[in-house]
A and B are shown apart, each in its own frame.
Chain A
């Protein structure tokens, strides 16, 4: 699939690495010297493989977790305080704790893009981002934007409007992720071609098959955004 060799993904990974309070190398070092451990793809009691974001992460001051810790997230320009276990993903924090359900949980392992939010102006899979990593008090203090921030209730951002006009949605479950990936891309690339759009949105999957509408919507939204609509 195109998403696999999509430069957006590697950019995204770099970005995610940068946003972490703790560099990956430091983290690995810590794993060796402390009780912190990372486990992915753990075998559940039933023996059925389940994917868990169950990493314990250490701060410079010491170990955080495994119990719940208070964090402050800067979401849509507002500071939100909540208490979560370190293993809680940004997606679950948004959806389960803050009732920001525009970002959807679909693959839950960084494949489909339904959970896309914008972190420091870049499209990020919130299902593979730990909430504590982007927190103000113990993480990178990132600027997190969800689809709910694009326009006041009852109004549509030009990208959303273009998705409506071009029928770039059917069941709509992938749509918020597409809208956010599209918005993040157009903010940086205001003159996309169809080819570039396919590359830029290669990290988002739709099951109903709305890609034709998405192609048209993205180009139409680019035109509108350039005109300042």
Chain B
């Protein structure tokens, strides 16, 4: 009988190999249909009206003119008169019409009377925000910080920060909704197929059994596409009203204004250290805004658990629009604050930051050996010893080069996932779970696990995901998907295989315990001569397929990874332009399922990191309370020429593989802001305190205290 544990290194035919994603050909040929692409007979186009005020009371809404506009088939009020608007862009009403152009015209014909109220959209420290707009959420003291700072030879004080950024999914949020009687089908661009069933059922007051969610592919979520949202429910209501399917995808400006943002985080930090680099104390006073509600407090310092510390966090409450989980919530901000402050402390001590990190590596806890190994590997890949120099590149000329380092961590584990693996008498295998592939390669991982378990080639497996009628599976967030689906699929496929082995054991004159599935055969262990080809074996099932069920269990997956990144930049001190030269990521994630898509995750995370380190910022206008850059010209992302050379090294083999799979979506996106900030400081000799490291900010920092 087969057991659930992952095969040993020499016995893996697919796991850990470089395998091209299964949906690659559908995507690269342009033929796959995303939610945005779905066409149905009679499809109407929906558009939303969004509030122009950051804070206001809705006095009245008059949709009568819009209803009479050409092509209009349904109008839906989302936020009724009497209610309060709490951020600009808030969803007010929607229209479904024959064409997009008609729907837009009709949206403009909706008359809304607002009573504007004073708003607050400034991402400033609590003292400036005032008591009405701030709320202290945490304060903690460990050990004796005063004594800790007193015992220090050197103390460093600095200010660091990261602004609000958005998700900017390329497929904007939205869906197509279609009713068949009382049954609703939603083609949703979602990270959570299973949970969207309940979202629509609850939101519309219909039984969950009447809702079907379809998401064969989706165009990016990054943490922002879990709920069904007001526009999902509105779309469904309009489809019901019109008696026709409705597509409503957010316009680009709406996507950037209201469909998700990452909270800001800023801090004043003080660190004490001995001459030899031993850290004696940490204190931080941090703040940030996540919109109108106070979110959770950060855990500072990050990675290094300095036992003597004082921390305080205050939420600044603003009318900037709702935040959503953004790939590794809080971690990139905590990494910038901690790693930049530590880097500045190392500079003050005259120490190489890698040596400073190593000196204090025990503070990282049980991952210390992993970090040590990763620091060594990263240093080798970027040629740290040759490239690092004390603060400020003294080379003549305006181009200054520098290197930086950062470390990060993330949990992982597995979300609750159920899988059904069916083996049919004709030898075909289908693996079904109501999961989703955000572009991370989930579909491919599921096929790899099933094929490896059943000893079959990848092509023999049909993966059914992206459909809520399959067994429930968790949403894709927190890097829990690979753990969840690998675990449930491994168990389901193993259970199906064991049932098959029991059935065919007599015909091989063996006990089921002595059989194995390898190379497309069922054979007596280690004896290919005593074997049945897979199809022959399955034929013995007669008319009845076998279905193995599997659920996530913690025994074959893990949680908790460490990663190290290093970057080299060049900075033109005359223009302030930062150019990426090279960036190295060294990352562990337990047992890698598909090396190709795993590396892609890391490359992608590093590139997203370059985006937020150098370019991204949601800019709010104090006067009007509106977002000033809700478009892709002024909300900037890195292009293919902006990223420099990227190198990824995955930590694999003994010490890593036996942990089982651990998710990889979040961890490598944590450090880029910190490494790039540190590399710039190393290059120009001064800290640019706030991301993104725009030319303006670089020049301002040089002006203030440049030694370059």
- Which residues of A are at the interface with B, using a C-beta cutoff of 8 A? 1-3, 44-52, 85, 87-88, 92, 95-96, 99, 101-109, 111-112, 114, 146-148, 150-151, 153, 156-157, 160-161, 163-165, 167-176, 179, 197-199, 201-202, 204-215
Contact = CB atoms under 8 A, between A and B. Distances in A.
Contacts of A111: 631-633
A76 to B, nearest CB: 12
B640 A208 contact: no
Given A2-B641, A172-B217, 8 more contacts: A1-B636, A46-B112, A51-B253, A160-B25, A164-B21, A171-B220, A204-B640, A208-B604
Contact of A51 (B25, B110, B603, B631): B631
A148 B23 CA distance: 16
B70 to A, nearest CB: 10
Nearest to B220: A171
Interface residue tally on B, bucketed by range:
35 or more
B107 A44 contact: yes
A163 B101 contact: no
A99 B596 contact: no
Interface string B631-644: 11100111111110
Nearest to A109: B631
A52 B26 CA distance: 31
A202 B638 CA distance: 9
Interface centre among A52, A101, A197 (most CB of B within 10 A): A101
A102 B639 contact: no
Interface in B210-265: 217-220, 222, 249, 251-253
A125 B154 CA distance: 57
8 contacts: A45-B112, A104-B171, A105-B249, A106-B171, A169-B27, A171-B438, A208-B608, A209-B603
B49 A49 contact: no
B34 interface: yes
Contact of B104 (A50, A102, A179): A50
B25 A156 contact: yes
Given A112-B632, A147-B29, A173-B219, A46 B50 contact: yes
Contacts of B28: 156, 160-161, 163-164, 168-169, 172, 175-176, 179
B607 A211 contact: yes
Contacts of A197: 640
A167 B33 CA distance: 19
B99 interface: yes
Interface string B299-333: 00000000000000000000000000000000000
B20 interface: yes
Given A209-B606, A212-B603, A151 B29 contact: yes
Given A160-B25, A167-B596, A102 B30 contact: yes
Contacts of B109: 45
A1 B642 contact: yes
Interface in B64-112: 88-89, 92, 99-101, 104, 107-112
Contacts of A95: 37
Nearest to A110: B633
Contacts of A105: 36, 249
B600 A167 contact: yes
Contacts of A199: 641
Given A1-B642, A45-B110, A52-B104, A207 B29 contact: no
Interface string B606-622: 11100000010000000
A205 B632 contact: yes
Interface centre among B100, B217, B253, B600 (most CB of A within 10 A): B600
A104 B36 contact: yes
Contacts of B220: 170-171, 173, 207-208
Contact of A215 (B88, B222, B599, B640): B640
Contacts of B637: 1, 205, 207
B45 A96 contact: yes
B600 A147 contact: no
A174 B170 contact: yes
A161 B110 CA distance: 48
Contact of B20 (A167, A176, A215): A167
Nearest to A155: B29
Contact of B31 (A46, A51, A153): A153
Contacts of A209: 603-608
A8 B45 CA distance: 34
B292 interface: no
Contacts of A175: 27-28, 30
Nearest to A99: B39
Contacts of A174: 170
A172 B27 contact: yes
